[in-house]
Structure 1
């Protein structure tokens, strides 16, 4: 984590106005409002738009299979040095079919051994989008042999969404939620 204290602190329940409580009510009904949403609740109108797009990315309407979507999200979180993002999505990735050894290898990227061709291409494309904001012709052609046009679009949407999320988390200094532990490789960032 880059900051030792939040620049914009998550709202406590007692600090929320009616609009903020309405925004977080569906999350509260599940028993937990994560710090990211407690922070975003400070701007409820922006948060609603953000949540609508984020819900698309994490839904079945995104044609990337959940395991591969999480592979991409974790790579973005690691590249952006977003301890909060990484921590949240390790749990989701495990639930969606990634193994602990695969999650550890995500940090090394596409050239780490034992990736399927599909996974290697998704990691390479994620790295290219991160560094150049563009997928090269060679990588695009290789991806096109494995993924549909909609899946390719959803790949770019997913990388873009989680790059934005990482920028928000890092810059606002959103702290980990209770009980979470920061990955040692992301300490000091």
Structure 2
């Protein structure tokens, strides 16, 4: 059971009720319901994460691979589970998802492996000049900022999820680190 209650629509100002729901699935999500205990933080986080999705400079595939890699690195089941679903929706096949889940970047193409190596270095606080030079050879500065922001933000969100001990939504069960 979660360590903070799941807020419902009556717990947040009327203009923020929709923020308790997934913008993709249109249903309440425990991650948003937990953060809904502080509606102002929920508004800020949803705005920030929305910007990461639309303004990072990454394709949907690249964004989801980064998020999956960060979730797997942290062992965050909730975040991993949610983003396996999204990864599938953007066309990432289960073999690639499973490879990220086991940390097997060699099965991805070289550019994607470099992308995930950089994202993991951000998550581990291990970015050095060499790692930065490798990602900078592939991406413009604005996208490098987007990659680091996604890796850092989803790492922080995973820490909140762990702190709150969030459950998967009712009616779902964990995909596993290898969802095949």
CA RMSD of aligned residues (A): 2.1
Matched residue, 1:124: 117
- The runs of 5 or more residues in structure 1 that have no matched partner are none
Matched residue, 2:107: 114
1:25 aligned onto 2:18: yes
TM-score normalised to structure 2 length? 0.88
CA distance in 1, matches of 2:28, 2:111: 34
TM-score normalised to structure 1 length? 0.84
Of structures 1 and 2, the one with the larger relative CO (CA 8 A, separation 6+) is 1
- The runs of 5 or more residues in structure 2 that have no matched partner are none
Q: 1:23 to 1:140 in 2, by over 3 A?
A: same
Matched residue, 1:48: 43
Matched residue, 1:163: 155
Show CA shifts across 1:93-149 (max 9, x none): 11122110000000233x543211111111111221222x14221121121221111
What pairs with 1:1-189 in structure 2 (closer than 5 Å)? 5-13=1-9, 16-17=10-11, 19=13, 21-25=14-18, 27=21, 31-59=26-54, 61-109=55-103, 111-131=104-124, 133-185=125-177
Is the contact between residue 70 and residue 119 of structure 2 (CA under 8 Å) also seen in structure 1?
A: yes
Is the contact between residue 12 and residue 36 of structure 2 (CA under 8 Å) also seen in structure 1?
A: no
CA distance in 1, matches of 2:148, 2:113: 16
Other structure's SS at 2:107 match: coil
